[in-house]
Amino acid sequence: MSGVREWVESARADKWGVLVDLLFAVVWVTMVDLLFQVIDGPTYAYWMLMLAGIVAYFGFFASLEVATSEKG
């Protein structure tokens, strides 16, 4: 139970980070879902794009971190 408590305490300390993470996930899933409603693609491609959201998330925030560290 202390693991959950530590996670909640760290989430409170970094609430904007958690909110940005949630926003990124919601936007990614919405975009993929809308795309596949329009093109009616195969199921495996749908799930591949959903999983690509994980790579996109880490790639986006890693590049953002590099860009901000080079700034100052």
Instruction: Return the amino acid letter for 61.
Output: F
Contact 11, 18 (CB under 8 A): yes
In a domain, 57, yes or no: yes
Q: Read off the pTM.
A: 0.64
| Within-domain flag for 4 | no
Going residue by residue through the chain, which has 72 residues, state the pLDDT in tens, using 9 for 90 and above: 567 777 666 666 667 777 888 888 899 999 999 999 999 889 999 999 999 988 888 888 788 777 877 765
Is residue 10 domain-resident?
no
Within a domain: 7: no
* pLDDT value, residue 72: 59
Contact present, 46 and 25 (Cβ < 8 Å) = no
Query: Domain range for residue 45?
Result: 20-71
Which pLDDT score is estimated for 4?
74
| Domains held by the chain: number | 1
Residue 11 pLDDT: 60
Q: Would residue 62 count as lying in a domain?
A: yes
Q: Does 64 reside within a domain?
A: yes
